[in-house]
Amino acid sequence: MNQQNSLALSVGVLAGLSVWVTDVLSIPTWLVFLAWLTFFFCGLGRDGLRLQFASNMWGVVVGIGALSILNAVNGPLIVAVIVVAIAAFLIAQSQRLELLSQGPGSFVGFAMIAAAVQTTGLPITDWTLDGPAYVAVLAVVLGSLFGVASEQVARVLSGSIRDSQDEATV
């Protein structure tokens, strides 16, 4: 099977599986998809995983900080404007670090924590296993796992697993 078809089959089957997994874990499937797509954006493989995980988690951390400040201050709109502007500046500047060089992944992580607050209906300060931080972090982890799994299954289906093993021994 060619690589395009094997990847499409792999992603399709695993996407269906992810719906079941996220239902069992009570987290939105689309949050997992956001982390999963970041894995592909970051280039696959170990480097892609490292960049995806670091950038998504950095965005989640920055988002938790920004949303915690907004929760504590509960001020007018201008406060939100300033806090979000500072958070976006911080994410953009963090791209200077090699590990965080995939800025879009960090913005995705920020969006994931904001979405987790909205979908759970719980405040950012809720640190329970139902809370938004747990939901966002679990989504990043699952997206990472599904990204790696889809790549590896596609390699097996396309027969390119032998090529990658040969490269690893060189």
Q: What is the mean pLDDT of residues 8-27?
A: 95
From the number of C-beta atoms within 10 Å of its C-beta (0-12, 13-18, 19+), residue 59 rates as buried
**According to the model, what pLDDT value does residue 160 have?**
76
Lookup result for tokens 């997994």: 21
Q: What is the mean pLDDT of residues 80-92?
A: 97
> Is the pLDDT reported for residue 75 higher than 90?
no
> Is the pLDDT reported for residue 149 higher than 80?
yes
Percent share of the chain, pLDDT over 90: 87
- pLDDT tens-digit series, residues 132-146: 999 999 999 999 999
> Is the pLDDT reported for residue 152 higher than 50?
yes
Question: What is the per-residue burial (b if ≥16 Cβ within 10 Å, else e) of 21-43?
Answer: bbeeeebbbebbbbbbbbbebbe
- pLDDT tens-digit series, residues 47-57: 999 999 999 99
Q: What is the average pLDDT score of the chain?
A: 92
Q: What is the mean pLDDT of residues 2-18?
A: 93
Spatial distance between the Cα atoms of 102 and 65, rounded to a whole number of angstroms: 20
**According to the model, what pLDDT value does residue 159 have?**
87
Q: What is the mean pLDDT of residues 96-109?
A: 95
**According to the model, what pLDDT value does residue 161 have?**
57
Q: What is the mean pLDDT of residues 8-25?
A: 96
